[in-house]
Structure 1
Amino acid sequence: MTNKPACPADGLAPVLVPGRAFEMCFTSTPRGARLARRLAAHRLDTWGIPYGGDPHEAIALVVGELAADAVRHGHVSGRDFQLRLYETGAAGTVVRIEVSDTRAERTPPRPETLRAADLEDTGGRGLVIVAGLASRWGWHVRSDGPGKTVWAEYAATPPA
């Protein structure tokens, strides 16, 4: 884990809400994925998306699924994965989650071709969960180096 991301960013320029962004690299291990989810959950709480609320739980679950997929399917020995979490849109009504890894040859299915896993399958449900919780999701090849970025957006309603 590093405070300043040592792994390259994609160079995308989203519309950010000032002060509402979190970016960090984590070791490509189950411990790194768990820490990514916990730190994202804490950051959401500080942003006013409190623990225990449906938006908080949904976004934390999406972070956990994408981080676990980066570890399981995007692991390259000695390389970290990167988590970006930020609010976009008017008054931060959309939370965008991006998880980047450095393994380019293993890519997820496109959203339009995603299928549910069979009952006997031991895996293959993570992106189905993400698709069910997120307003939109997708992935793209990283523009600044090897690997891919899987992203999801959750439409959160601002607190009253």
Structure 2
Amino acid sequence: MTTSPRQERRSALPLPLADQTVLSFRFTPSPRGARLARRLASCQMDAWGWRYGTPAHDAVELVAAELTANAATHGRVPGRDAELRLSREEDGHVRVEVSDARGERLPEARNAGSEEDGGRGLLLVAALAEEWGTVPRPGAPGKTVWAVVAAPGAP
């Protein structure tokens, strides 16, 4: 018996599973794609045992939201996807990585003026993460912005 194309596509989707230690998801660098990546990060944290509303869950969700929004806003290259990667570390940390195709535009945490609408996202990332940084995107043009978030009480 063969499977239908619909079943094959469904099984190829990245699903939040408790037993996987890494979740990787490519998304369109757009507000909609960034929102989907944030929701998937939130669902994966819940699947790993950090329930909705816990400090670790909320910190990872917010870091993922800021980094994916930055990829959609500042790292967009037409026709190129961005990528979210979550890794559950053995030492009680979660690593959030977001890659985009704009290697020449490196992020910088800066104090935005009170009149500006944006510009504070990386300050939030710096406050929530134990460390964060940028590296060249492996195997492709662009960069990867990463952050390591403490997730105490690892399930």
Normalising by structure 2, report the TM-score. 0.84
Contact 1:26 1:33 (C-alpha < 8 Å) held by counterparts: yes
1:64 aligns with 2:65: yes
Q: Between the two proteins, what is the percent identity of the paired residues? A: 49
Cα distance in 2 between the residues matched to 1:142 and 1:72: 18
- Report what 1:15 is aligned to: none
Match of 2:97 in 1: 98
Unpaired stretches in structure 1, ≥5 consecutive residues: 5-17
Tell me the equivalent position of 1:49.
Answer: 50
Instruction: Please give the secondary structure, in 2, of the residue aligned with 1:129.
Output: helix
Q: 2:148 aligns with which of 146, 153, 160?
A: 153
Aligned to 1:123: 118
Instruction: From 108, 127, 132, give the equivalent of 2:127.
Output: 132
**Equivalents in 1 of 2:81, 2:137: separation in Å?**
14
Structure 2: stretches of 5+ with no match in the other structure: 1-11
Aligned-pair CA distance for 1:52: 1.0
Q: CA deviation at 1:30?
A: 0.6
Stretch moving more, 79-88 or 117-126? 117-126
Query: Aligned partners of 1:36, 1:158: CA distance in 2, in Å?
Result: 24
Whole-Å separation in 2 of the counterparts to 1:143 and 1:86:
16
Give the counterpart letter for 2:31 in structure 1.
Answer: P
2:23 maps to what in 1?
22
- How much has 1:59 moved relative to structure 2? 0.7
1: CA distance, partners of 2:90 / 2:111: 31
What is the one-letter code of the residue matched to 1:150? V
Partners of 1:3 and 1:25 within 8 A in 2: no
Q: Work out the CA distance in 1 between the residues paired with 2:149 and 2:63.
A: 9
Q: CA deviation at 1:67?
A: 0.2
Instruction: Tell me the TM-score normalized by structure 1.
Output: 0.82
CA contact (8 A) 1:21 1:85 kept: yes
C-alpha separation between the residues in 1 aligned to 2:33 and 2:121? 17
How far has the Cα of 1:159 moved from its partner? 4.8
In the TM superposition, residue 54 of structure 1 has moved relative to its aligned partner by: 1.3
Q: Does 1:87 align with 2:67?
A: no
- Cα distance, 1:40–1:120 mapped onto 2, change above 3 Å: same
Q: What are the superposed Cα offsets for residues 36-89 of structure 1, whole Å, 9 maximum, x if unpaired?
A: 000110010000010011111111010000000000000000111000001113
Q: Is the 8 A contact 1:82 1:100 kept in 2?
A: yes
Residues 82 and 99, structure 1, Cα contact 8 Å, conserved in 2: yes
- In 2: Cα distance, 1:143 partner to 1:84 partner: 13
